[in-house]
Copies of this chain bind each other. A is one copy, B any other.
Amino acid sequence: MTVWDRPEPPNPPVPLDRELIITAAIALADEGGLEAVSLRKVAARLNAGPMRLYGYISTKQELFDLMVDEVHGEILPEEQPGDWREALRVVAHRTRRAALRHEWLADLLGGRPTLGPNGLAVTEAKLAALDGLADIDTVMRAVETVSAYLIGVIRREIANLRAERATGLSKRDWQRASGPHMTRMLATGRFPALTKAVHDGTDVDPERSFTIGLDWVLDAVALKLSQPPA
């Protein structure tokens, strides 16, 4: 082999850093879902070999944690309104919208404690909104309850969205039990209440149902704020 045959380095190795890796991983996940995120593909986007990433992250799970924290950065509102209720509402809606932008977030939400800086900042914002309005334990319980509701609704909304997409049925049809499976199930007569609900229920769009449920939970919080624990 002469000098002339020697292939020149195809790309001068780009200096890597965590932020670049996270951005690439998020882009991949936005396009093809979480399962499209492989260390090889992330590395390829950055013109690097897979092993190179291990200088910046120590495991794939850690990469996921970093992705989640990055999105928590999008969730943090720039300024907090004074009213606690409005503050919690804003964070909730921002979380939901983030999950609609990054559907994979639903897969990760609540899966691990959120200890990243942005995740903690979001928790801080929730706590701060209620700070001083009740004893600290009540405040914590309130934040935990609202957060739990959030995780649950968002997961369900995304799950339904994917199901509709996969079956090609509109939400209306699906809720109306037009799917052959549901039709068969309901026909057994074992689920009278469900049948009635599917048949007579109004179908509301997810945002509205999200908001209603959220308001209920916030009502419950309001109730406890006005009645300190026994």
Chain A residues near B (Cβ < 8 Å): 107, 109-113, 115, 117, 120-121, 123-124, 127-128, 131, 136-137, 139-142, 144-145, 147-153, 155-156, 159-160, 162-163, 181-182, 185, 190-194, 196-197, 200-202, 204, 209, 212-213, 216-217, 219-221, 223-224
Contact = CB atoms under 8 A, between A and B. Distances in A.
Contacts of A223: 216, 219-220, 223
A185 B217 contact: no
20 contacts: A110-B151, A112-B163, A113-B163, A115-B181, A115-B182, A120-B194, A123-B191, A123-B194, A136-B197, A136-B201, A137-B201, A140-B197, A144-B209, A145-B213, A145-B217, A148-B148, A148-B155, A216-B223, A217-B220, A220-B223
- Interface SS of A by simple majority: helix
Copies of this chain, complex-wide, total 2
Nearest to A139: B197
Contact of A217 (B113, B181, B217): B217
Given A127-B193, A216-B221, A217-B220, 19 more contacts: A109-B155, A110-B156, A115-B181, A115-B185, A120-B191, A124-B193, A124-B194, A127-B196, A141-B209, A142-B216, A144-B156, A144-B213, A145-B213, A145-B217, A148-B155, A148-B213, A149-B152, A150-B152, A220-B220
A194 to B, nearest CB: 5
Given A148-B149, A149-B148, A213-B141, A131 B202 contact: no
